[in-house]
Structure 1
């Protein structure tokens, strides 16, 4: 079952359960997927679907950080609920220790040894761990490892 099919099933389930909050978030995800499919003039691949869901997750995390900085706890709580719903459609997230271990492998494989190689390591890391980790975490760890 593709991600789009799963989202369609979950919309039906949320409608039957009269879960308005979940339904709202899932419909936003579906709209983003449909918009991209129209822009592509065809069906989306699983990788493209994952990229779109990751983009939606990043938007919510960024907004949550801004709301927290503005001391808007009511909006932060709403976004935490949305993030919990969106996470169901992402692959299992890697722990920081797992990310660090993978980064060390990538650094060894690419021969990176200074901050000049940051882009090369980031490119490899994000390609290998796509959807499994937040880019900010990878960025921070790569800087630490190459320092």
Structure 2
């Protein structure tokens, strides 16, 4: 089952259960996906849908930080609920050990020795970690190993 089909099924379930908050979040995700499909005149595959999903999640995370900084906990909790709805579509997260092992393998394979090679390592890892690890966290780990 494709990611788009999973999102559609979740929308149908939210409709049946009359979960309006969940339904609104899923519809906004579908609208973002559809907007890209219409603009680019393409059918998005799972990796492209995952990229849209990650962008939506990143927006929610930034909003949560901004609302908490402004002491608007009511809005932060609303964004947190939306974040949790979107997170259910992400693939299973990688463990720290698996992530460290993967980074080591890619650094060895790329023969990376300095910070100049950071881009090559990150570009090799990006498709593997998509939706399974935070790119900022991965970047920090690579910097620590190459420094």
Shorter-chain TM-score above 0.5 = yes
> Are the counterparts in 1 of residues 106 and 124 from structure 2 also a CA contact under 8 Å?
yes
Q: Mind listing any 5+ residue stretches in structure 2 that lack a counterpart?
A: none
CA deviation map 1:1-47 (0-9, x unaligned): 22222222221211111111111110111101111111121321121
Report the RMSD for the aligned CA atoms in angstroms. 1.4
Moved more, 60-69 or 76-85: 60-69
Structure 1 residue ranges, 4+ long, deviating more than 4 angstroms after superposition: none
Moved more, 23-32 or 129-138: 129-138
Aligned pairs, number: 147
Q: Distance in 2 between matches of 1:106 and 1:6?
A: 32
Residue 51 in structure 1 maps to residue 43 in structure 2: no
> Are the counterparts in 1 of residues 4 and 46 from structure 2 also a CA contact under 8 Å?
no
Shift of residue 102, structure 1, vs aligned partner: 0.8
Q: TM-score, normalised by structure 2?
A: 0.91
CA deviation map 1:102-136 (0-9, x unaligned): 11111111111111111111111112212211111
Q: Residue 68 of structure 1 corresponds to which residue in structure 2?
A: 68
Q: TM-score, normalised by structure 1?
A: 0.91
Q: Mind listing any 5+ residue stretches in structure 1 that lack a counterpart?
A: none
Q: Residue 126 of structure 1 corresponds to which residue in structure 2?
A: 126
Tell me: CA distance 1:62–1:20, structure 2 relative to 1, closer, same or farther (3 Å): same
- Trace 1:21-36 onto structure 2 (pairs within 5 A): 21-36=21-36
